[in-house]
Structure 1
Amino acid sequence: MQKTEHQCSFFGQYGRCKDMAESGSQLCFWHDPDVDKTGDEVKARLEKRAETGQPMEGFILRRANLDNVNLVNHGGGKPYQLVNCDLSRASLCNGHFYRVDLSGSRLFKANLSNANLHRANLEGCNLLGVNLNNSLLDHVTWGDKLYQEQEAAANPENARALFEEAEESARNIRRHCENLGMMREAGHFYYRERVFHRLQMPKFSRQRVLSYLVDRISGYGESPLRVVLFSVALIVCCSFLYLFTGVQGGDTVIRFSQNQDLFQNLRYWLDCLYFSVVTFTTLGYGDLTPMGLSRIVAACEAFTGSFSLALFVVLFVKKMIR
């Protein structure tokens, strides 16, 4: 009696799989987790399947030997889609993945050494332990959030362990980007690495609060612009404190008063703003001097200003020499 073939029962975001199910199974060769895919013929079958142009969604390719696989669409059409697949511990050495959409795939400890990932889409991939030695990573789409970062938001009870994995993944990508001279991307992942490290700390702990302040002020040493914005905010804030505590200008006390008109108070604020800039930069012209509580404000601003200026120079030079 002849056996009848039936369509694979897998259903994903691109609809139902159009491949035929394996004998004795409801799933096709690619979606059946019990089918052995470690053979040498799997690479050729995958390349042939890709040429059909149909999305390759949810393929289970754990530990598959896909060395030298070529998934580049040489016809110039839409890039091949190998999305939401399980490629855990798969060997993808020297693979060609130019513009390939790998979004949502599990690449846990996959070997992508010497692979061409130029313009590949790795958004939402689990990249924990992935081997990227000597891989081409130019213009890779990493996504706004790493896989573990997304999972931590959905599973707050396991957030600490997930952020630890996210830190490890970010560190791994950062190191490979540094080896390739991709310093901008390396800096981005260094920043995310430090954020993930902070999120593992107990909430409201001293270490976490200090780490957060370093982030806000300098982006963990990756954002000179944040130092500038912090400096401007501090100068403006201190100018208002001087306006209400008062500074001495010769025989005149420059201070806000409700008995003065708006124009006079505005002039006094501009004088206080000038004094704040002079104090922040530690120039000290001497035409205006602090008085009373404004002395404490001036001392704190001068100390913070000297530190901020030095920090900005260090970060700016760091960016320029990369």
Structure 2
Amino acid sequence: MSTINNLCQYNDPEGYKCKAQAEPSGYCFWHDKTIDKTHDNIQDKLTQYVRSGGLTRGICLKEANLTGIDLVNHHQKVGYDFSYTDFYRANLSGAHLFNINLSNASLMKADLSDAKLNCGNLTRCNLLGVKWKGCKIENINFGKKLMQEINAKQALKANKPLLALDYFQQAEEIYRDLRKHAEQEGLFSIGGTLIQKELTMRRYQMPKYSFKRIGSKIVDLFCGYGEDPLRIVGLSLIIIFICALCYTFTGLNFRGEVLTFDASKTAIENFSFFISCLYYSVVTFTTLGYGDFTPVGISRAIAAIQAFTGSFTIALFVVVFVKKMTR
């Protein structure tokens, strides 16, 4: 019974328990946040602990000097699990961290210069103030949202706008630092995703119904802040289809005869006319203007707006596409 009582009291949110011998504080050496781990032999001690199968989840390594440490689970498909671990201000420069699991951990202000973090899992990890210079980040999983994003949304639900604003500012800073580093490493596809996230966090900091925020949202919907040409294609198809429906009910002139949707006609005849309107919508959107169909009445206004929108959208697609392809 006394042996059980002397075990570490660590129990993380996912139910993992530490079975190491407890210090007088009730926690083992690694899970005790009050024990200083900045001494020189901490690397060898940690390596030995990891290799022996000790629970690495939730351990405290604040300000530890782990320069060049090898935390790769060699010859195994799954890396070591450092979920919930605290690496605040830890020196991990030059560390080998391939395939490591750092979900829900804290790397706040940690030094990852020249570290190898490829294939790591950093979902919901606190990345504020991390030094990324030279760090290898290929195939890293940052998750759909940063920890700060999740906290900001929770703060908004709790009616704490100032706290939410602070979290959004932190998230923007993290995405900006990551984006700059990804571009320096030549990872432009990752950089493109990160700049979308960065600008989205900046949008959330704007007043909710301001023109700036609405304009920013429109740019995001149109082209993903210049990083998603497929959005422009999708939007173009939507515009073409909607305008085709409008032409179906407002009418078009074909060889001197005004054609429009007529409930007295058969479904096949009305569908055939809709296909003709779809053709006319494509011609108008691309500003080809063959002249076989011409707008009448309200259709003229719709055609004018569509032609203007189409020329702008096509130009935007070319710019975004060239930008993506020249990286």
- For Structure 1 versus Structure 2, the TM-score category normalised by the shorter chain is over 0.9
What SS does the aligned partner of 1:11 have? Answer: coil
- 2:193 matched to 1:192? no
Aligned partners of 1:43, 1:14: CA distance in 2, in Å? 27
Q: Which runs of 5+ in 1 are unaligned?
A: none
Contact 1:92 1:113 in 2 (8 A): yes
Aligned partners of 2:306, 2:152: CA distance in 1, in Å? 39
The aligned residue for residue 314 of structure 2 is 309
- 2:184 matched to 1:176? no
- 1:8-53 deviations in whole A, cap 9, x for unaligned? 111123532112122x321111122211111111111111111022
Contact 1:83 1:104 in 2 (8 A): yes
- 1:104-140 deviations in whole A, cap 9, x for unaligned? 1111111000001011111111001101100111111
TM-score, normalised to structure 1, is 0.95
Contact 1:110 1:131 in 2 (8 A): yes
Using the TM superposition, give the Cα deviation of residue 250 of structure 1 relative to its aligned residue in structure 2, in angstroms. Answer: 1.9
The aligned residue for residue 145 of structure 2 is 145
Aligned partners of 1:93, 1:124: CA distance in 2, in Å? 22
TM-score, normalised to structure 2, is 0.93
Deviates more, 1:250-259 or 1:10-19: 10-19
Q: Give percent identity, aligned residues only.
A: 42
Amino acid across the alignment from 2:17:
R
Q: How many residues align?
A: 318
Aligned partners of 1:101, 1:174: CA distance in 2, in Å? 21
The aligned residue for residue 129 of structure 1 is 129
The aligned residue for residue 242 of structure 1 is 247
The aligned residue for residue 271 of structure 2 is 266
The aligned residue for residue 94 of structure 2 is 94
Q: Which runs of 5+ in 2 are unaligned?
A: none
Contact 1:249 1:287 in 2 (8 A): yes
- 2:11 matched to 1:6? no
Aligned partners of 2:77, 2:196: CA distance in 1, in Å? 36
Residue correspondence of structure 1 range 289-300 to structure 2 within 5 A: 289-300=294-305
What SS does the aligned partner of 1:143 have? Answer: coil
The aligned residue for residue 19 of structure 1 is 20
Aligned partners of 2:68, 2:32: CA distance in 1, in Å? 24
Aligned partners of 1:167, 1:58: CA distance in 2, in Å? 26
Contact 2:88 2:109 in 1 (8 A): yes
Contact 1:55 1:80 in 2 (8 A): no
Aligned partners of 1:218, 1:318: CA distance in 2, in Å? 12
- 2:213 matched to 1:208? yes
Deviates more, 1:72-81 or 1:180-189: 72-81
Using the TM superposition, give the Cα deviation of residue 259 of structure 1 relative to its aligned residue in structure 2, in angstroms. Answer: 2.5
Using the TM superposition, give the Cα deviation of residue 179 of structure 1 relative to its aligned residue in structure 2, in angstroms. Answer: 0.5
Aligned partners of 1:55, 1:214: CA distance in 2, in Å? 47
Contact 2:148 2:167 in 1 (8 A): yes
The aligned residue for residue 72 of structure 1 is 72
Contact 2:196 2:227 in 1 (8 A): yes
Aligned partners of 2:311, 2:210: CA distance in 1, in Å? 28
What SS does the aligned partner of 2:136 have? Answer: coil
The aligned residue for residue 104 of structure 1 is 104
Aligned partners of 1:277, 1:57: CA distance in 2, in Å? 58
Aligned partners of 1:130, 1:63: CA distance in 2, in Å? 13
Amino acid across the alignment from 2:151:
E
The partner residue of 1:217 within 203, 222, 243 is 222
Contact 2:78 2:99 in 1 (8 A): no
- 2:92 matched to 1:84? no
Using the TM superposition, give the Cα deviation of residue 77 of structure 1 relative to its aligned residue in structure 2, in angstroms. Answer: 6.1
- 1:288-314 deviations in whole A, cap 9, x for unaligned? 111111111111100000011111111
RMSD of equivalent CA atoms: 1.6
Amino acid across the alignment from 1:162:
Y
What SS does the aligned partner of 2:321 have? Answer: helix
- 2:231 matched to 1:230? no
Contact 1:102 1:120 in 2 (8 A): yes
Contact 2:20 2:54 in 1 (8 A): no
Amino acid across the alignment from 2:105:
S
